[in-house]
């Protein structure tokens, strides 16, 4: 029997478009495109329960007190200040360029790539909040403090390596970070001035 | 006579055979650039804005804690007080510890666990501090205050 060559009928693919449209719409609905970004911070380690409260003595000149009250007002050391003043104040404090006795003490420290440096490695910026402080005020304070560190690091990086901080090699970044270590401490909140 | 209509002309059909490919390309694009929305939000919040932000890398190591007042639909039952949302439900600050442990279980790189706090701007610091204390106790020390970029 001589077979006739049968022609295979073409598959009707006109609905594939509809199917893929449905898939597309499904993905559009269930996924989100926002890239998450935020201010990265590190919390201190939990206190050791066996250990007695070791009060670490920090000299007064080494501490920059940033206090926030329940209404969101800002106080730097002992004066009421605006949020805009925080960044320059913090930079001045961390840097202590003129080696003033009211600003953090400086020590000579040997840093790889930079040699012996005269730096304020003992400084602490203490942020104290009230339970009623609005979150965005607190966030802005943190943001300004991080900005102060970033600006100082950027300046140092330009001066020492002639390049922006983000383009440095890892070793160079470590050196810069050792020069300006980020020391923001957060005290336990207090309930300043009354109502929760 | 010349004006007799010739046989009715048919519109030539458009070739749509490449349409599925086109749509598939868009589909794959969206599958790659977007991430699955994992939870339905039960709290509403506007995150603060900042300038010194870092991108959250390694999405697989990130857990989110949402803080804010309940959404409009839920407000009738729950009031407008600030709530914490973990996964799909409301929680108390102390429950954060279990949440962190649970999240850590399913992670490949447990040491790199990051907790991202998405909190409303108007939240009072009290609740944030409570969360932070619990996070400290559960050794989830890398945190991230979620924010949007401002110029």
pLDDT in tens, B68-87: 888 888 877 777 788 888 88
pLDDT in tens, A123-139: 888 888 888 888 888 88
B28 at the A interface (CB within 8 A)?
A: no
- Min mean pLDDT across A30-44, B81-95, B105-119 is at A30-44
C-alpha to C-alpha distance for B124 and A185, rounded to whole angstroms: 19
Q: What is the mean pLDDT of residues A150-167?
A: 86
**DSSP annotation string for A89-103:** HHHHHHH-TT--TTS
pLDDT tier for residue A111 given thresholds of 50, 70 and 90:
confident
Partner-chain contact A24 B26, CB within 8 Å: yes
- φ, ψ of residue A138 to 5 degrees: the values are -60, -45
Q: What pLDDT, on a 0 to 100 scale, did the predictor assign at position A97? A: 78
Q: What pLDDT, on a 0 to 100 scale, did the predictor assign at position A195? A: 42
pLDDT in tens, A56-75: 667 777 888 888 888 878 88
Q: What is the mean pLDDT of residues A100-106?
A: 77
pLDDT tier for residue A194 given thresholds of 50, 70 and 90:
very low
With tokens 């913090």, the residue in question is A90
Q: Structure tokens of A190? A: 């207090």
pLDDT tier for residue B4 given thresholds of 50, 70 and 90:
low
B119 contact residues in A (CB cutoff 8 A): 135
pLDDT in tens, B47-76: 888 888 888 877 778 888 888 888 888 877
Partner-chain contact B122 A30, CB within 8 Å: no
Q: What pLDDT, on a 0 to 100 scale, did the predictor assign at position B123? A: 85
Partner-chain contact A131 B125, CB within 8 Å: yes
Q: What is the mean pLDDT of residues B8-33?
A: 82
Domain borders along chain A are 60-186
Of A38, A129, A150, the CB nearest to B147: A38
pLDDT in tens, A29-52: 877 766 678 888 888 777 776 665
Alpha-carbon radius of gyration of chain B = 25
State the best of A139, A195, A196 to mutate against chain B, taking most chain B CBs within 10 Å: A139
Q: Which residues pair with A41 in a beta bridge?
A: B143
Alpha-carbon radius of gyration of chain A = 28
* Surface of A (156-185) touching B: CB under 8 A: none
Of B33, B121, B124, the CB nearest to A131: B124
Q: Structure tokens of A126? A: 């203490």
Partner-chain contact B125 A135, CB within 8 Å: yes
B130 at the A interface (CB within 8 A)?
A: no
What's the mean per-residue pLDDT of chain B? 82
Alpha-carbon dihedral of residues B14, B18, B19, B22, nearest 10 degrees?
-150
Partner-chain contact B55 A35, CB within 8 Å: yes
Domain borders along chain B are 56-149
């Amino acid at each position: 029997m001589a077979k006739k060559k049968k022609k295979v009928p073409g598959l009707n693919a006109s609905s594939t478009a509809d199917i893929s449209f449905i898939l597309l719409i499904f993905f559009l609905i269930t996924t989100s495109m926002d890239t998450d970004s935020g201010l990265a911070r590190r919390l201190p380690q939990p206190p050791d329960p066996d250990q007695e409260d070791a009060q670490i003595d920090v000299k007064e000149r080494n501490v920059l007190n940033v206090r926030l009250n329940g209404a969101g007002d800002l106080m730097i050391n002992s004066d009421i200040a605006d949020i805009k003043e925080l960044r320059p104040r913090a930079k001045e404090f961390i840097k202590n360029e003129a080696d003033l006795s009211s600003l953090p003490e400086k020590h000579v420290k040997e840093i790889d790539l930079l040699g012996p440096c005269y730096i304020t490695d003992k400084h602490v910026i203490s942020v104290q909040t009230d339970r009623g402080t609005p979150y965005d005020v607190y966030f802005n304070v943190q943001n300004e403090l991080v900005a102060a560190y970033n600006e100082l690091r950027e300046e140092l990086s330009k001066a020492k390596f002639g390049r922006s901080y983000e383009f440095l090699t890892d070793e160079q970044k470590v050196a810069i970070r050792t020069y300006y270590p980020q020391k923001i401490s957060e005290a336990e909140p207090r309930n300043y001035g009354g109502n929760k | 006579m010349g004006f007799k209509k010739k046989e009715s002309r048919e519109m030539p059909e458009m070739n749509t055979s490449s349409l599925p490919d086109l749509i598939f390309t868009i589909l794959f694009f969206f599958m790659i650039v977007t991430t699955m929305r994992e939870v339905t939000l039960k709290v509403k919040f506007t995150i603060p804005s900042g300038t010194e932000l870092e991108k959250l890398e390694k999405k697989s190591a990130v857990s989110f804690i949402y803080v804010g007042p309940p959404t409009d639909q839920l407000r009738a039952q729950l009031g407008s007080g600030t709530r914490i949302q973990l996964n799909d439900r409301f929680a108390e600050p102390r429950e954060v510890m279990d949440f962190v442990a649970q999240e850590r279980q399913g992670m490949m790189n447990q040491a790199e666990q990051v907790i991202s706090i998405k909190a409303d701007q108007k939240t009072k610091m009290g609740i944030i501090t409570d969360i932070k204390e619990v996070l400290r106790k559960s050794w989830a020390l890398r945190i991230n205050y979620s924010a949007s970029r401002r110029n």
